[in-house]
Every structure is written in structure tokens, then in C-alpha cells.
Structure 1
Amino acid sequence: MASAPRLKIDGGIPTQPGQVIEAATALEHNGYDGGWTAEHSHDPFLPLLLAAEHTSRLELGTNIAVAFARSPMIVANIGWDLQTYSQGRFNLGLGTQIRPHIEKRFSMPWSHPAPRMREFVAALQAIWSAWRDGTRLRFEGDFYTHKIMTPMFTPEPQPYGVPKVFLAAVGTAMSELCGEVADGHLGHPMVSLRYLTEVTMPALLRGVARSGRDRGDFEVLAEVMVATGENDAELAAAIVAARKQIAFYGSTPAYRKVLDLHGWGDLQTELRRLSLAGEWDTMGSLIDDEILSAFAVVGPVDDIASGLRARCAGVVDRVQPIFFAASRDCVNAALKAFRR
């Protein structure tokens, strides 16, 4: 009988340019399968050029880049170049962000996020098709239009194919869309195993089926919070940090649906109230052990690899652990079972 596919292990790549090379090479040396950047205070794409130059095997991706802060043409061009330079190792991970950030931070239009994201991905594929296959670019949608592509603006051919597109999704509508139009799903840390299996995966599979593909054609990544330490004091500090992070996520209305599934919806209201008052420490104290264990793998270093497998194996294809207050040596020790 064929064995189940191996659970891939991914790590984060910092976006500060001076830290990228050391972090990316360490991930590859320690047997990680992939390294991902996130769009916070620095550009998420630029670091991956450095990472590609200094690694040879590691998959590289954005988790996430904000789609609606850019046009499909800009993203298509960046994705093509990173795919070429990395020799086929680039995964394009996109997310919507939320309306206030799109309109007030990026000064870009916001409307109908799921239909807009569907069209964004379709526009990417149309542009890449024009470059790869020489098809005429005639993309006209409700949100994006791309109808000019001359030889001067067409990048050189490359043999690696187009990047895989991953979409971040929590709600059912975006998850179904992800399963239908993307190559993979990027999960959020504020998703419990129960929510993943009862809500996210069924929605993804409905989308995959609608696209005419099989589950094996689609990759699912879970981000999982981890609280561990090499001694009791480090573990205790990590647990406090994890409680605060869960409380921060829980204060956001977008994740109330996750708490509702567990019967913890009223907690979101209280966390929201406390966040507006700046009561961050108090918020963390409301995350009891049951809630903590629903969203994080907690325990001594030697228990973390098995805990991650128990949470993810057979459900998702790859996991990106998020450690709190842990040294690099601690992280490496906790994940040694995943090394090649």
C-alpha cells in the first residue's frame, strides 16, 4: 500500500535585506522544504531574489503579498522574473488584506474581494499565457483590463513554467474560490484543526472539484503557532506570548467565525472591547488552556514535531510553524524530526 505523502516543513524568511541570506541558507541547510516572506514593513518580493541567489533547492514564496495593492501586470512581471531566477522554485502567495489598509494605506480601490481576487488570478494567467504561448492579450474584466502587449514589453522565454499561485483564505467564499482558481491555499494561524477540517477543507474541496481537478493537484499550507522552550522559564514565556497573539487575532471581527464554531463567539466581543482600550495584557489572560491548545502546539522541545504531525498530517500538505520567544537552536531542536 502506498504511504501517505510526506508532510513538508516550511520556515519564514525575514524581509529585512541584511538578514535574508543567512536565514534562507540556514533553512536549506537544516532541511526545510520552503521559505516564505510576509508583507509587513518591507517589500515581500525583493528578499526572495537574494534567497534564490544563495539557495539551490528551497522553494520560495510570499505568504502573503497584498494583491489589491498592485495591478495584475506588476505582479505577473515580478512573478515571472522570480520564477526564472530561482529556476522554477517560486510560489506566488496572494491575499486581499482588509478594506482600511487597501484604501487608506495603499490608496487603492476596494470592492467585492472574492470576485476581484478571481479576476486578479485570471488576469495573471492571461498575461502569463501571452508571454509563454504567444497568445494575444485581450483580458477585459469588471476590475482589470489588459489589452496591450508588444514584443518590447514581453519578457524573454523561460523553461520553468509559470509560478504556482497560492491564495490566503479563511471564510468559505474565498476558500471555495481558492480551491477553484489557485494551485494552493495559505492558512492563517488563527484557524483551529476543527475549523480546518469542518469548514476550510470542505470549501476548498468544493472549489477543487469545480475546477475538474483532484485533491492531489492542490497544495494546502497550515501556519501553526508553537509555544516551546528549552527550559521551564522559556516555555512559560512562550505560552504568555502565544496567549497574547491569539487574543490579538481573536479581537479581529474576521476571525469571530472561527471562535463561533467552538462556542467562544462572546470572547471576540470582549477582546475587541479590550483592544480598543489598549488592554493587551488583560486580553492575553482571557485565553485559557483549552483555547490555547486549539490554536497552538504547546510543550517541551521533544514533543513539538510529533504535535505538529498530529495536527497536520493527513489534512494539509505543508506546515509553517510560528515560534514565540524561541532561539534558533531551540527551533532547530524542536523540528529535527522533519529534517531530511
Structure 2
Amino acid sequence: MADGPRLKIDGGIPNQLARAAQAAGALEEHGYDGGWTPETSHDPFLPLLLAAEHTSRLEVGTNIAVAFARNPMIVANVGWDLQAYSKGRFILGLGTQIQPHIEKRFSMPWSHPARRMREFVSALHAIWAAWQDGTKLRFEGDFYTHKIMTPMFTPEPLSCSLPKVFIAAVGETMTEMCGEVGDGHLGHPMVSKRYITEVTTPALLRGLARAGRTRSDLELSAEVLVATGENDAALETATAAVRKQIAFYGSTPAYRKVLELHGWGDLHDELNRLSKQGEWDAMGSLIDDDMLAAFAVVGPVDTIASALKSRCAGVVDRVLPIFLTASETCVNAAMKEFRQ
């Protein structure tokens, strides 16, 4: 069970610079707790400078920044500056991406992702300790080494806390590691409530225990696909889009274990085969109502808030609902009740 009296609600901040400030301001105005940028077609960090400038309360973070496309010193520096400028509201959300992207898109090394991520986060903490407390920097790991830090390259100490580090994880090994070294866990839309309670949370607790920490030392987040609309036609369109999105995720080997938990492991093979043929509509038709209910919240606008609370309250600490097709008016109407 999640600690804390209130379920936090997060929203997305576009990673296009021209849109980030207005979107972040709107999230704060509408009472959201946090706003996240993805690393897709644009850099995830730059928009957060604008988001921080145009808000005063909203937490702002990356969900996710690709850790292995960078090194700890580069990430430590940008995280430090965003934390200082936002006055303590920045969250560094890190993910691994997958091997082909790291090697063939970013031209960076890939090996032992959970071990490498643990070391990446440990290196961040060592660098930040050197900057904040004057601790001698002498980090020597299997993947990263940081042993030089002179006054010219040392930023001013923070007047707020160090940045929180959230880690994206689905598999048990990565999730346990998140429990050991992370300040928070970033969920994925292709994760059901059952998977969170039976797999994710126990793995986090094992990691926390190994590090001598408790559940209150870590925030657990979830992303939930939402299908809704102002009328029946809009709801039908949204539902079809969500089915296709679930099918896309289900075709990826990383999420086969999630399907297997529900007894749908064989579906992955068919979805994977169809994805290679570009049969996206056919893939969506394979997602039946039970699967839809496992991975999404579906219904009229006035049912969404209560459905999200029922799904997430007491299970996670914060939730990021993902509306694939709903209008801004529709989203605001759905989430207004959630925030009351």
C-alpha cells in the first residue's frame, strides 16, 4: 500500500520549446502536482527551464531522459542547474531505453543495464556530494569513473535539496535496483494494477530492504491510458486508439511478462508477428474488453476521475493519465473532479 494521504496527479509538458511554458502554466493553474517531458523527438531538459520559469509550485521532471545516451557528469550538471533554477522542484527521471537504440541511434555502449543504471545513479550522488559538501570526488566503478573536480568546474552549492532521481523500471531486476538507489519509480502504461501489486511493489520493497530503507523513502508512480470523449462517437474513437496502443506495447518483448501474468502470453507472439507486417489495425482488434480494462480506464467523462482513483489510490503515490485523443476541454472536465 502506498503511504501518504493524497494521490498526486501529473500531466505532460510538450518537449517542443514553443509549447512548454504555456502547458506548464496550465497544469499549475489546474491544480496538477507535476509535469513531465519525454525524450522523443526533442531534448527533454530544455523545456523544463521554461516550465520552471513560468510556474512556482509545479514539480517538473523528465519522464524519461535516456541515461545511457549520456554520462553521469553531463546529467549531474544539467540536473543541478534545473534544480537550482526551479528552487527545488526538479525531478530527474531516468530510463535505459533498449539496446538497439543505445548502440545504433546514440552510438553508446550497452551492457548489464540494471548494474549500469545503479552505478549511474551512484555516480550522480558522488558528484553532487562533491559539489554540495566539498566531498573529494573519487568515484571508480565498472562503467563510470569520475576522479577530477577542481574549483573552476564546481557549481555553487544548492540552497535547496539535491534533485530527486526517479528510475523507469518494469522488470523485477531493474525495479529492485530502483528500490535500492532511487527516490522514485516511474511506471509504464503497459502495466496493470495487478502487475503493480504482485510484481512491482514487492520488488521495490526487496530493494528498499536491502538498502535499509522503507516504503516512505520512495514515490511510486503509474501511467494509465484513458479513453473518454464528449459523446459516444468520441468515446469509440478514443477506445479504438487505446486498443491499438496496448497492442503496440504488447508486441514488444519487454512487456511479455506483463501479459503472462494475466494468462495472455501467447498474444505477444501474434502481436509481434503482425507488427513486423505493419498490421496495426489488426493488432488493435485482438485487444478484447478484459485486456482493455486491465491496462486502461474507459468511460464517459464524468466517470474517469472516480475510475482513476479506484485504480490508483492506495496502490501508487502519483498517477499520470494519458489521454490519446481527448480534447483539452474534455481532459479538463475529466480531471477537475479528480482534483477536488
Taking structure 1 as the reference length, the TM-score comes to 0.98
**Counterpart for residue 246 of structure 1:** 246
User: Residue 335 of structure 1 aligns to a residue in which SS?
Assistant: helix
1:163 aligns with 2:183: no
1:77 aligns with 2:77: yes
**Counterpart for residue 261 of structure 1:** 261
Give the CA deviation at 1:217: 1.4
**Counterpart for residue 337 of structure 2:** 337
User: Residue 194 of structure 1 aligns to a residue in which SS?
Assistant: helix
Give the CA deviation at 1:157: 1.4
Aligned partners of 1:248 and 1:68: how far apart in 2?
Answer: 24
Instruction: Assess if the C-alpha contact under 8 Å between 1:304 and 1:334 holds in 2.
Output: yes
Instruction: Assess if the C-alpha contact under 8 Å between 2:306 and 2:338 holds in 1.
Output: no
1:65 aligns with 2:88: no
**Counterpart for residue 21 of structure 2:** 21
Give the CA deviation at 1:4: 5.2
**Counterpart for residue 114 of structure 1:** 114
Give the CA deviation at 1:338: 2.8
Q: Deviations over 1:81-123 (max 9, x none)?
A: 0000000000000000000000000000000000000100000
Q: Deviations over 1:200-245 (max 9, x none)?
A: 1100111111111221111011000000001101100000000000
Aligned partners of 1:334 and 1:305: how far apart in 2?
Answer: 6
What does residue range 276-291 of structure 1 map to in structure 2 within 5 Å?
Answer: 276-291=276-291
What does residue range 44-193 of structure 1 map to in structure 2 within 5 Å?
Answer: 44-193=44-193
Aligned partners of 2:69 and 2:84: how far apart in 1?
Answer: 23
**Counterpart for residue 320 of structure 1:** 320
Instruction: Assess if the C-alpha contact under 8 Å between 2:169 and 2:175 holds in 1.
Output: yes
Aligned partners of 1:206 and 1:158: how far apart in 2?
Answer: 32
User: Residue 88 of structure 1 aligns to a residue in which SS?
Assistant: coil
Aligned partners of 1:250 and 1:267: how far apart in 2?
Answer: 8
**Counterpart for residue 236 of structure 1:** 236
Instruction: Assess if the C-alpha contact under 8 Å between 2:301 and 2:330 holds in 1.
Output: yes
User: Residue 305 of structure 1 aligns to a residue in which SS?
Assistant: helix
Q: Deviations over 1:13-38 (max 9, x none)?
A: 00000111110000000000000000
Give the CA deviation at 1:337: 1.9
Aligned partners of 1:81 and 1:43: how far apart in 2?
Answer: 16
Give the CA deviation at 1:326: 0.4
Q: Deviations over 1:170-212 (max 9, x none)?
A: 0000000001100000000000111110001100111111111
1:31 aligns with 2:18: no
Aligned partners of 2:64 and 2:220: how far apart in 1?
Answer: 14
Aligned partners of 2:184 and 2:81: how far apart in 1?
Answer: 20
* Counterpart code for 1:82: L
Aligned partners of 1:332 and 1:213: how far apart in 2?
Answer: 37
Aligned partners of 1:93 and 1:5: how far apart in 2?
Answer: 23
Aligned residues: 338
**Counterpart for residue 199 of structure 2:** 199
* Counterpart code for 1:74: I
* Counterpart code for 1:256: R
5+ long unaligned stretches in structure 1: none
User: Residue 222 of structure 1 aligns to a residue in which SS?
Assistant: strand
Aligned partners of 1:282 and 1:33: how far apart in 2?
Answer: 38
Aligned partners of 1:194 and 1:315: how far apart in 2?
Answer: 10
Q: Deviations over 1:42-95 (max 9, x none)?
A: 000000000000000000000000000000000000000000000000000000
Aligned partners of 2:30 and 2:307: how far apart in 1?
Answer: 19
- Alignment RMSD: 0.9
- Percent sequence identity is 77
* Counterpart code for 1:199: V
Aligned partners of 1:61 and 1:181: how far apart in 2?
Answer: 18
Give the CA deviation at 1:131: 0.1
Instruction: Assess if the C-alpha contact under 8 Å between 1:165 and 1:182 holds in 2.
Output: yes
* Counterpart code for 1:32: Y
Instruction: Assess if the C-alpha contact under 8 Å between 1:31 and 1:338 holds in 2.
Output: no
Taking structure 2 as the reference length, the TM-score comes to 0.98
